[in-house]
């Protein structure tokens, strides 16, 4: 009887184990899930499919060994990227451009979402067993380090009738294991912007503050009015860092004073902004310039399809050389300010804590270009002071709000929705 019970228990365990660890059909390229219903649904209309679960997925011998070089994870030798929990999807191109994302956001999941929403994507053409990589991404434009989410997302400029395969993997962290769980696939059709589109532009760039003194080192570079071309397979955006105004130089690498560049993602959220840290730079004058390009090759930009913003300048001083007239003393214990809600739609609430009374303090709101949009003189009592400011008529965007007394100032930012 014990032997029968043992065999029965073993059989149950084996059956349950088989169920628990059964690999999904799209664990291999040959079983790729067809997502043709996600395309051709209209510009800016996001189609979500899933959820899909890579918990039991593995890296198969049929998986390709190239195309995922942009992944930051490493193999056991800590040298090269690797694939670990791969799922496959496929669709047939229709000649339109799609933003493709693997994410938990907006996904009705039944189980556990993939860890940290941390996905990785490679797009291929060809046939299973003979695939050609065309693009890959690890942290897409919706990744947010402050929120601790890292979904992969990228643009795919499709050709009509061409078969595309999408490999989705989870990020491998040597300390925290693998990213496994449920996620959805999202397709958003984008407008096709050709190089000769009169609206194609790299927009306008501004910086706040324009003067920084050590040890402060973070400048906010904002950009608006950007509509980059997405013609041909290679297109996108990048920031150029230089010690001179690039003044529309189509190829910044040929300009003396060019220091380097970094990607702004192929699908940045414009208008938007980035924080640029100067703590690794020597004191001096620096410029950031935004480039929008299309019809490029892997080694060169097309001059006829490259658009350049203005160069926004920031002056970076050593602590001893900081201009005395550049800023007032900033001490939140003396003059502190908080704003809420942020972002705001109609009325912003201002709390100002003053260490002493001020009868001629100036309250000012400026936009990212430095234009004053609201200004008023206020009286501050010793202690807490509350003000309500109606911003409903202001255009959407990032604004700087400051309060200045005779000797001190406090500055913060808010976003108008």
Q: According to the model, what pLDDT value does residue 265 have?
A: 59
Type and span of the H or E element at 12: helix 2-20
What CATH topology corresponds to 204-321?
Answer: Immunoglobulin-like (2.60.40)
The predicted model gives 138-164 an average pLDDT of 88
Query: pTM of the full predicted structure?
Result: 0.57
The predicted model gives 14-19 an average pLDDT of 37
Number of C-alpha atoms within 13 angstroms, CB side, residue 134? 20
Q: According to the model, what pLDDT value does residue 94 have?
A: 92
Q: According to the model, what pLDDT value does residue 79 have?
A: 65
- Determine the CATH number of domain 18-190: 2.60.120.1050
- Decide whether 204-321 matches 335-416 in CATH topology: yes
Q: According to the model, what pLDDT value does residue 235 have?
A: 84
CA distance readout (Å), 281 to 241, 242, 253, 277, 369: 11, 11, 19, 9, 25
CA distance readout (Å), 170 to 50, 155, 182, 400: 16, 19, 10, 39
115 or 370: which carries more pLDDT confidence? 115
Q: According to the model, what pLDDT value does residue 11 have?
A: 35
- Please check whether residue 183 is in contact with residue 107, taking contact to mean a CB–CB distance below 8 angstroms: yes
Whether the predicted pLDDT of 109 surpasses 80: yes
- Determine the CATH number of domain 335-416: 2.60.40.2550
Whether the predicted pLDDT of 399 surpasses 60: yes
Q: What angle do CA 125, 68, 116 make, to 5 degrees?
A: 115
- Please check whether residue 133 is in contact with residue 67, taking contact to mean a CB–CB distance below 8 angstroms: yes
Phi, psi of 393 (to 5 degrees): -85, -5
Domain ranges of the chain: 18-190, 204-321, 335-416
Instruction: Write out 189-228 in H/E/C secondary structure.
Output: EECCCCCCCCCCECCEEEEECCEEECCCCEEEEEEECCEC
Pick the range with the lowest mean pLDDT from 52-66, 118-132, 257-271: 257-271
366 or 291: which carries more pLDDT confidence? 291
Q: According to the model, what pLDDT value does residue 163 have?
A: 97
- Please check whether residue 367 is in contact with residue 360, taking contact to mean a CB–CB distance below 8 angstroms: no
> pLDDT digit string (tens) for 312-343?
999 898 888 876 534 444 555 567 778 888 77
State the pLDDT confidence band at 359, using cuts at 50, 70 and 90: low
Q: Give the integer Cα–Cα distance in Å for 37 and 180.
A: 26
Q: According to the model, what pLDDT value does residue 341 have?
A: 83
> pLDDT digit string (tens) for 178-198?
889 999 999 999 888 889 988
Q: Which letter, b or e, does each residue of 356-369 get, where b requires 16 or more Cβ atoms within 10 Å of its Cβ?
A: eebeebebbbbbbe
- Please check whether residue 94 is in contact with residue 189, taking contact to mean a CB–CB distance below 8 angstroms: no
Pick the range with the lowest mean pLDDT from 31-35, 170-174, 203-207: 170-174
Type and span of the H or E element at 8: helix 2-20
Q: According to the model, what pLDDT value does residue 8 have?
A: 33
- Please check whether residue 212 is in contact with residue 221, taking contact to mean a CB–CB distance below 8 angstroms: no
The length of the chain in residues reads: 417
> pLDDT digit string (tens) for 79-97?
678 888 999 999 999 999 8
CA distance readout (Å), 1 to 6, 8, 9, 77, 363: 9, 10, 12, 51, 87
């Amino acid at each position: 009887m014990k032997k029968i019970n043992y065999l029965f228990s073993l059989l149950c365990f084996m059956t349950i184990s088989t169920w628990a660890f059964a690999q999904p059909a799209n664990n291999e390229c040959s079983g790729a899930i067809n997502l043709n219903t996600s395309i051709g649904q209209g510009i800016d209309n996001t189609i979500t499919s899933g959820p899909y679960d890579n918990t039991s997925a593995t890296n198969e011998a049929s998986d390709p060994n190239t195309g995922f070089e942009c992944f930051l994870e490493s193999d056991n030798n800590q040298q090269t990227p690797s694939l670990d929990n791969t799922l496959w999807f496929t669709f047939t191109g229709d000649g339109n451009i799609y933003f493709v994302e693997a994410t938990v956001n907006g996904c009705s999941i039944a189980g556990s979402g993939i860890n940290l929403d941390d996905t990785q994507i490679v797009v291929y053409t060809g046939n299973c067993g003979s695939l050609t990589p065309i693009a890959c991404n690890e942290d897409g434009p919706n990744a947010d380090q402050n929120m601790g989410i890292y979904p992969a997302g990228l643009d795919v400029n499709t050709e009509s009738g061409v078969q595309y395969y999408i490999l989705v993997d989870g990020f491998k962290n040597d300390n925290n294991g693998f990213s496994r769980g449920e996620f959805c696939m999202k397709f958003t059709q984008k407008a096709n912007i050709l190089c000769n589109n009169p609206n194609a532009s790299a927009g306008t760039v501004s910086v706040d503050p324009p003067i920084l003194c050590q040890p402060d080192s973070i400048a906010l570079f904002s950009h608006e009015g950007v509509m980059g071309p997405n013609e041909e397979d290679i297109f996108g955006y990048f920031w150029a860092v230089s010690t001179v105004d690039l003044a529309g130089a189509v190829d910044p690498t040929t300009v003396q004073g060019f220091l380097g560049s970094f990607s702004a993602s192929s699908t940045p959220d414009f208008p938007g902004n980035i924080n640029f840290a100067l703590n690794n730079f020597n004191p001096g004058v620096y410029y950031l310039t935004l480039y929008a390009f299309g019809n490029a090759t892997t080694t060169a930009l097309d001059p006829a399809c490259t658009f350049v913003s203005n160069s926004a300048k920031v002056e970076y001083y050593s602590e001893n050389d900081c201009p005395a007239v550049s800023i007032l003393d900033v001490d939140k214990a003396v003059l502190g300010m908080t704003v809420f809600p942020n972002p705001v739609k109609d009325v912003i609430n201002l709390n100002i804590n003053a260490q002493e009374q001020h009868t001629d303090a100036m309250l000012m709101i400026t936009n990212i270009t430095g234009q004053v949009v609201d200004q008023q003189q206020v009286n501050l009592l010793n202690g807490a002071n509350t003000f309500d400011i109606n911003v409903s008529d202001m255009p959407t965007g990032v604004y700087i709000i400051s309060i200045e007394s005779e000797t001190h100032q406090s500055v913060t930012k808010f976003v108008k929705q």
